[in-house]
Amino acid sequence: MAKAIEVSDLNIYYGKFHAVQDVTMTIRAKAVTAFIGPSGCGKSTFLRSLNRMHEVIPGAHVRGTVMVDGQSLYEPNVDPVEVRRRIGMVFQRPNPFPTMSIYDNVLAGNKLNAKRIKKADADVIVEKSLRGANLWNEVKDRLGKPGMGLSGGQQQRLCIARAIAVEPDVLLMDEPCSALDPISTAAVEDLIHELKQNYTIAIVTHNMQQAARVSDDTGFFNLKGAGQPGHLVEFNPTKKVFTNPEQKATEDYISGRFG
Ligand SMILES: Nc1ncnc2c1ncn2[C@@H]1O[C@H](COP(=O)(O)OP(=O)(O)OP(=O)(O)O)[C@@H](O)[C@H]1O
């Protein structure tokens, strides 16, 4: 079930380095939220803090709160592994498990999270997830073949199938199309559009046309200067950000005057 994420006064650190400062926003359920901004402003760091992926780096920590469905993700009694199941992630480079079949790739997350899954149940999950990722028709006759044998765009949709197979509440995507050709990019963008009917989606993208095409809300992050933390300059409906931004810095960025 799609859930909203409420972020309040979030500060993110790598050891002593303050990477992201004071972010407050609501990421709406069943909508796509894009994060844009120049390199190094903390978009990926912020995205990874939303499912506690950030803290796998030694010394990385946050101050502030991230609430999903009324529960704070950073409370001491919350299991980060469970958080990452509920809030899935798709990365820049498609990363199917190279030795696994397409079928087993889809189930990889389920097998990590559960005990044994009956074959009949597994078949249902695989078909549903591949259909959800718009990949079923292309792979249904070769489910036993390696995931690595697919094209880059198909591999990325396989990774999306793997992410949705565990039925998360939220999908985080970190530049999911940056390694893809335009046709595969269009397929993934279409898929994002369909997935938002059931999921809350947050996406980091360098491509402003992509943010404008796929997202409902956009957050523009910026840096005050080298060595300074990134911060959220503007968070508004995408239409507003791209046609009538509130902040001059946003307008400068989207019109290509810097970044
Ligand atoms: N593992 C890490 N250890 C220490 N500092 C890091 C680490 N990862 C990122 N940083 C620093 O945190 C800041 C934000 O980086 P981040 O990758 O989140 O930015 P970004 O906006 O996603 O950049 P890009 O668009 O280039 O991917 C940068 O100063 C970066 O050098």
Question: In terms of residue numbers, what domain contains 56?
Answer: 5-254
Q: Which atom of ligand 1 is nearest to the CA of 227?
A: 29
pLDDT digits (tens, 9 = 90+) for 164-223: 999 999 999 999 998 888 888 998 899 999 999 999 999 999 999 999 999 999 999 999
* Per-residue pLDDT in tens (0 to 9) along the chain, 259 residues: 789 999 999 999 999 999 999 999 999 999 999 999 999 999 999 999 999 999 999 999 999 999 998 899 999 999 999 999 999 999 998 899 999 999 999 999 888 766 688 999 999 999 999 999 999 999 999 999 999 999 999 999 999 999 999 999 999 999 999 888 888 899 889 999 999 999 999 999 999 999 999 999 999 999 988 889 999 999 999 999 999 999 999 999 999 866 5
Residue of 41, 46, 89, 228 to test ligand 1 pocket, by largest number of atoms within 8 Å of CB: 41
In a domain, 48, yes or no: yes
**Residue 241, exposed/middle/buried by CB under 10 A (0-12, 13-18, 19+)?**
buried
Side chain identity, residue 100: M
Counted domains in the chain: 1
In a domain, 58, yes or no: yes
pLDDT digits (tens, 9 = 90+) for 150-174: 999 999 999 999 999 999 999 999 9
Q: Which residues contact 102 (CB under 8 A, 6 or more apart)?
A: 130, 139, 142, 143, 144, 145, 146, 147, 150, 158
What is the pLDDT, as a whole number, of residue 165? 94
In a domain, 93, yes or no: yes
3-state secondary structure of 231: strand
In a domain, 144, yes or no: yes
Which regions of 69-141 does DSSP assign to beta strands (E)? 71-72, 87-90
In this prediction the pTM is: 0.93
Instruction: Give the CATH number for residue 177.
Output: 3.40.50.300
In a domain, 123, yes or no: yes
Residues with CB under 6 A from ligand 1: 14, 17, 19, 37, 39-45, 57, 230
Q: Which residues contact 212 (CB under 8 A, 6 or more apart)?
A: 238, 242
SS3 sequence, 135-182?
A: CHHHHCCCCCCEHHHCCHHHHHHHHHHHHHHCCCCEEEEECCCCCCCH
What is the pLDDT, as a whole number, of residue 113? 67
In a domain, 259, yes or no: no
In a domain, 126, yes or no: yes
In a domain, 25, yes or no: yes
What is the pLDDT, as a whole number, of residue 112? 75
Ligand 1 centroid to residue 56 C-alpha, Å: 14
Q: What ipTM describes this predicted complex?
A: 0.97
